[in-house]
Amino acid sequence: MSEPTLPEPTALGLSLRTALTMVAFTIVFTGLMASTYQATHETIAESVQQEKLRLINEILPPASYDNALLNDALALPAAPELGLPKGAQIWRARKAGQPVALVMEAVAPDGYAGSIRMVIAVLADGRLGGVRVVDHHETPGLGDYIDPNKDKDKANPWIAQFGRLDPATTPVALWKVRKDGGEISYRAGATISPRAVSNAVARAAAYAMTNRDRLFAQGAQP
């Protein structure tokens, strides 16, 4: 006796089977992702905070303030002066309750290859604590020396000159590259990137000094 012949699966049956398999896969995958997130998100968040603090401490010595800097933050809904029309973050450094510095996010929108993101420390008396470029797309080997990690001159990186700027001796109007009549040096053949950074730093410093009292007073101090 011959074995009974199984009916060929219909297109609808195949579609339903495939759909059920995909649903089961999605449920399992989502569960795994949720478990991974729960297990790692606190560690990741802590790492992000530590990296942020490490970067800030490069431009503002930790001994110069005694507050929990990352908790003493001010979120601005808009800060076009900082190149951030959709909002910016400012951290306020204090010592014994007194203002020490404003640490600000800022963007130079006119880099050679697009926007240049920075973090800038402006001391309470108007001097610059320092500047760090945190994201850019400038030409490798040409304009990327604005980033100290890519600057070949490790002993005297280009960005370090901002940490010596003092409006009492060098007016903010001169915080621009020498080619434009200012006091900021640059390297031959690569003017656009340092010009963008210098101009953005000058705008940020002017904004910080004009609004210093309001920025330190705004919001509750943690």
pLDDT in tens, 39-96: 554 555 566 567 778 889 999 999 999 999 999 999 999 999 999 999 999 999 999 9
- The region of weakest confidence among 33-42, 58-67, 122-131, 204-213 is 33-42
Write down the mean pLDDT value for the chain.
86
Identify whether residues 54 and 146 lie together within a single domain: no
Domain boundary among 44, 59, 74: 59
Number of domains in the chain: 2
Residue 1 forms part of a structural domain: no
Taking the model in full, what pTM does it have? 0.77
User: Residue 2: its pLDDT value, please?
Assistant: 53
Identify whether residues 188 and 136 lie together within a single domain: yes
Identify whether residues 73 and 116 lie together within a single domain: yes
Residue 175 has pLDDT above 90, yes or no: yes
Please tell me the distance from the alpha carbon of residue 97 to that of residue 74, in angstroms, as a whole number.
Answer: 16
Residue 221 has pLDDT above 90, yes or no: no
Contact 114, 191 (CB under 8 A): no
Residue given tokens 């490069």 in the structure block: 58
Order of strands across the sheet that contains 88-95: 73-76, 88-95, 98-111, 114-123, 128-135
The number of residues in the chain equals 222
Share of the chain above pLDDT 70, in %: 79
User: Residue 114: its pLDDT value, please?
Assistant: 92
Residue 70 forms part of a structural domain: yes
Identify whether residues 49 and 21 lie together within a single domain: yes
Higher pLDDT, 100 or 37: 100
Please tell me the distance from the alpha carbon of residue 123 to that of residue 130, in angstroms, as a whole number.
Answer: 9
Residue 160 forms part of a structural domain: yes
Each residue's pLDDT tens digit, 180-189: 999 999 998 8
Identify whether residues 182 and 204 lie together within a single domain: yes
User: Residue 41: its pLDDT value, please?
Assistant: 46
User: Residue 18: its pLDDT value, please?
Assistant: 72
One-letter amino acid for residue 76 of the chain: L
User: Residue 142: its pLDDT value, please?
Assistant: 86
Identify whether residues 120 and 22 lie together within a single domain: no
Identify whether residues 154 and 74 lie together within a single domain: yes
Residue 19 has pLDDT above 70, yes or no: no
Own/partner long-range contacts of 61-64 (Cβ < 8 Å, ≥24 apart): 64/93, 64/95, 64/100, 64/101, 64/129
Please tell me the distance from the alpha carbon of residue 151 to that of residue 140, in angstroms, as a whole number.
Answer: 10
Residue 137 has pLDDT above 60, yes or no: yes
**Structural domain containing residue 167:** 63-217
Residue 168 forms part of a structural domain: yes
Identify whether residues 166 and 194 lie together within a single domain: yes
Identify whether residues 99 and 200 lie together within a single domain: yes
* Winning range, highest mean pLDDT, from 8-12, 14-18, 119-123: 119-123
Identify whether residues 22 and 107 lie together within a single domain: no
Identify whether residues 123 and 76 lie together within a single domain: yes
Residue 157 binned pLDDT confidence (cut-offs 50, 70, 90): very high
Residue 135 forms part of a structural domain: yes
User: Residue 81: its pLDDT value, please?
Assistant: 93
Identify whether residues 138 and 43 lie together within a single domain: no
Residue 2 forms part of a structural domain: no
User: Residue 49: its pLDDT value, please?
Assistant: 65
User: Residue 9: its pLDDT value, please?
Assistant: 58
Please tell me the distance from the alpha carbon of residue 11 to that of residue 32, in angstroms, as a whole number.
Answer: 32
